[in-house]
Structures are given as structure tokens and as C-alpha cells.
Structure 1
Amino acid sequence: MENVEPNQVPEGAQLIDVREQHEWEVEHAKGATHIPMSEIVGRLDEIDLDRDIYLICHAGGRSVQVGQYLEQARGWDVINVLGGTDAWIAQGMPTVYDDKSK
């Protein structure tokens, strides 16, 4: 599994966020597709195999687990985003967030 920094993810890339719904709603990478880790097996048809598959989670642990499953059980090549959404935000990458304080 290849690992990349958030700033190495190309604009418009197929970025799969594997966090749970409540995490996704707080803030997520702009353009990402939300498929929680707990639902990945049942939603594989939503992943475009003709494009690179980038995986992201909160800090990097779950995306590695999903990546290992996709590589070992499905034979897919995937790319893990190091540091997850925390690193994505820290590097100033574009996000979408739900500010409930307003």
C-alpha cells in the first residue's frame, strides 16, 4: 500500500473517507466520498476501479485497515493518506464542515 501526504492527493482524486457518520458531519475533505469502514464490504460497487483509490480516516488507522482488506481480499491497489483528516486540515487542504455553533 502506498502512503502519501494530504498535499500529494491530486485535485479531483477519488478520495474515500472511511470514518463514521458523526465524524464526517463535523468536517471532511472537500470532494471526498463517504463510505464508513463498517459499510465498506456492502458498498464496494461505489468505488471506481478505473481510478486511483485514496483512503482517508481521522488519523490514519482505519484507512490502513480498509486498505489492507481491499488489497488482500480484493486484490486492489490503494493509496493511504498519512495522518488522515487531522493532517489534511493541518496542511490547509480544502474541507467541508458543519458549524453548529451558528
Structure 2
Amino acid sequence: MQEITPTELSTLEQAVIIDVREADEVAVMSVPGALHLPMSSFLDHLEDVPREETVYVLCHSGGRSARVTGYLEQQGYDAVNVTGGILAWSASGLPVQRATDAG
């Protein structure tokens, strides 16, 4: 399985980030511009995953995203797991949108 750190991912231009966390998790903190496709209903939204470009899959700490990345790879997608998830993204000082930012 391909993996990338949040810091490495942040250097890429036009990266498609798919956040597979649930809505309540995303509401607390999210990566600006990420596409939210919760793991619990992921298969219902598979058509929303771009086939023609690499997708970077993110969750809370890297476990769920690894499962989704593995599934996408089996289906022929170019998918990369974001190691450490949103926790590592935030800890690296990368931009996040928090619930308090929306008001």
C-alpha cells in the first residue's frame, strides 16, 4: 500500500484528499478542501472518487483510511493512505478548519 505523510502531502499541488471520517468528526476539525465520503457509506459514494487521478485518503489516525485505500487499490484506483490521519496533519502545523472557525 502506498503511504504519504501529511507534510509530504502538503507539498503537492492540486491533491485530491478524501476524508473518510464520520460527519461528527469532520465537524470538529477538517482539512480545507477535502472531499468528505464517510467510511460508513463509502460504497454508496464510490462514483464520487476520481478515477483519473491519485486520491489521498485521510481519517482520524490512519486505520480507517488504510482500509479504504486498500479497497480502492483493489478496484483499480491510484490511492494513497495518509499516515497518522488528521491528528498528524494538525500536529504538523498544517491548516485545519475547526468548528469554532465556521461561526
Is TM (by shorter chain) over 0.5? Answer: yes
Aligned to 1:76: 77
Task: Give the aligned residue type for 2:51.
Answer: L
Report the CA distance between 1:83 and its aligned residue.
0.2
Matches within 5 A, 1:1-102: 1-9=1-9, 10-72=12-74, 74-99=75-100
Task: Give the aligned residue type for 2:25.
Answer: E
CA distance in 1, matches of 2:68, 2:27: 20
Report the CA distance between 1:63 and its aligned residue.
0.1
Task: Give the aligned residue type for 1:77.
Answer: D
CA contact (8 A) 2:51 2:78 kept: no
Report the CA distance between 1:97 and its aligned residue.
1.1
TM-score using structure 1 length: 0.91
Aligned length: 100
Report the CA distance between 1:91 and its aligned residue.
0.5
Report the CA distance between 1:77 and its aligned residue.
2.1
Q: How much is the aligned-residue C-alpha RMSD, in angstroms?
A: 1.5
SS at match of 2:100: coil
CA contact (8 A) 1:30 1:94 kept: yes
